[in-house]
Amino acid sequence: MRVLYHCVAARSFRPLWALEELRVDYRLKMLAFPPRVTDRDFLSINPLGTVPAFIDGDVRMTESAAICHYLGTAYGPSPLVVDPDEPDFGAFLNWLHFGEATLTFPQTIVLRYERFETAERRLPQAAADYRRWFLGRLKTLGPILERQSTMCAGRFTMADISIGYALLLADYLGLEPEFPEPVRLYWARLKERDGFRRACVAELAAAREQGVSTVPSPLLSTSA
Ligand SMILES: N[C@@H](CCC(=O)N[C@@H](CS)C(=O)NCC(=O)O)C(=O)O
């Protein structure tokens, strides 16, 4: 059985969403955040201590966008992956990685220096700069999403899951009102998907069953 290690609202939501879209069976192992502190045994699964960690037989993966790509390919053929012989293959890979490398990275700086660090180590300037940095990068999506309803290939793909998670995190950070209008509408459409909803339900049910707080990570709470 495939196993996904996940913390509420963490990047491991990407493969969780992908599994639900594909309707592939999996076991969801919930961890309190940050797992490297709350569950030392997890380090034997992923020495980095980060989620996602995904196990499928001998396959071990720890990168959320790569796991989505793997799932869509290994359990395909699926329209969620764009094939090399399709015109939007390059665009697909670009947006799949843009979601993590360009859109999620700046948000982690905001989280760290605005919420996670102790009061004396917080850096309001760094948080404010990277908040602007994120919103600046997000602007590039506006003209594309004005013309089309998904990022590429004329259909919903793993690239939308990758970018969709970055929007979910930004929403938790209170940035949704600052999304360009086409991006705000795109995010609203993504949340309507059955696969997205099933992933939210699965996350909540597994957290309750396994006694893990259903509140998004302490990183996301303003009191942390
Ligand atoms: N590039 C990786 C990043 C993984 C990552 O940093 N995950 C965060 C959760 S969103 C984590 O586990 N942080 C805990 C820590 O840094 O100790 C991915 O896309 O999966």
Residue 4 tokens read as 């996904």
Residues 74 and 164 in one domain: no
- Name the nearest CA neighbour of 26 among 55, 49, 48: 55
Residue 223 lies in a domain: no
Beta bridge partners of 52: none
Q: What is the pLDDT of residues 35-80, one digit of tens each?
A: 988 899 999 999 999 999 999 999 999 999 999 999 999 999 999 9
* pLDDT winner (highest mean) among 90-99, 103-112, 210-219: 90-99
Domain co-membership, 141 together with 48: no
The reply to whether 115 and 203 lie within a common domain is: no
47 and 120 in a single domain? The answer is: no
The residue whose CA has the least distance to atom 11 of ligand 1 is: 50
Q: Which domain does 119 fall in, by range?
A: 89-191
**Total number of domains constituting the chain:** 2
Residues 124 and 200 in one domain: no
Of 7, 8, 11, 108, best ligand 1 pocket probe by most atoms within 8 Å of the beta carbon: 11
Q: Say how many Å lie between the CA of residue 32 and the centre of ligand 1.
A: 13
Tell me, yes or no, whether 94 and 67 share the same domain: no
Q: Is residue 220 part of a domain?
A: no
Q: What is the pTM for the complete model shown?
A: 0.95
Residues 93 and 48 in one domain: no
Q: Between the CA of residue 85 and those of 92, 159, 187, 206, what are the distances in Å?
A: 12, 17, 28, 39
Quick check: is 84 in a domain?
no
Q: Answer yes or no: is the C-beta of 39 below 6 A from any ligand 1 atom.
A: no
Looking at the chain, the whole-number percentage of residues with pLDDT higher than 90 is 90
* Residue 180 lies inside a defined structural domain of this protein: yes
Ligand 1 pocket member 52 (CB < 6 A): yes
Whether 138 and 69 share a structural domain:
no
73 and 116 belong to one structural domain: no
* Residue 218 in domain: no
Q: How far apart are CA 38 and CA 117, in angstroms?
A: 17
